[in-house]
Amino acid sequence: MEYSYPISPDWSTEEIIAVVQFFEGIEKAYEKGIMREEMLTRYRKFKEVVPSQAEEKSIFREFEEESGYVSYTVVKQAKELENGQTIKVLKK
């Protein structure tokens, strides 16, 4: 698929990498599955870059419009599942 990630010009290279890796984790959850621990690690790094809940929702919405992947669903599963479980989301 051809789409771009929501990136802020104010972010450093390291912050951009953290955000891109988070969204790659979201893609992985939809395409083949991702371990809960790996997704939570990516989410924690994302939250260091985007600590604001309002900004997070805005970025999630922008990514969903571009890709069709719902980040909230993956993050919710990551928080609900136990260690060692795989997150796998079916795309509607």
Looking at every residue in the chain, the average pLDDT score rounds to 95
Nearest alpha-carbon partner for 67 in 42, 41, 30, 21: 30
Q: Do residues 87 and 57 make contact, with C-beta atoms less than 8 angstroms apart?
A: no
As beta bridge partners, residue 34 has: 87
Tell me how far the alpha carbon of residue 91 is from its chain's centroid.
15
Which domains does the chain carry?
13-87 (1.10.220.80)
How far apart CA 2 and CA 44 sit, in angstroms, is 26
Mean predicted confidence (pLDDT) in 15-23: 98
- Residue 40, pLDDT > 90, answer yes
